[in-house]
Amino acid sequence: MNIDVTHVPDEYKRSVTKELRGSITEVSYPVGNYINSSRQLVTNQNICPKEAGRETVQGDAITKKCNIYLPPGYDKNDTETK
């Protein structure tokens, strides 16, 4: 399927009021199983290479980071809203 793309409509370029703006926050989280630069599975569990489909080595968890968009009005203490 070919789709013709023209331009971004002007109404998409307008800023919104502060009440309607969300925010971006950085979150860190531990990862216990990951692939290293040698393509080995690094793990702190007892996973055999046959099960993993590659060579495994023992190692500690690493910390990864990601950015998360939080919608306007987000309240981390509100456990009732998903």
Map out the domains of the chain as residue ranges.
28-73
Q: pTM for this structure?
A: 0.59
Calculate the alpha carbon distances from 14 to 5, 19, 23, 27 in Å.
20, 15, 17, 29
| Spatial distance between the Cα atoms of 31 and 12, rounded to a whole number of angstroms | 38
One-letter amino acid at 18 equals K
- The pLDDT assigned to 30 comes to 95
State residue 52 phi and psi, 5-degree precision: -80, -20
At 10-66, the pLDDT tens digits run 888 888 888 899 999 999 999 999 999 999 999 989 999 999 999 999 999 999 999
Helix (H, G, I), strand (E, B) or coil at 52: helix
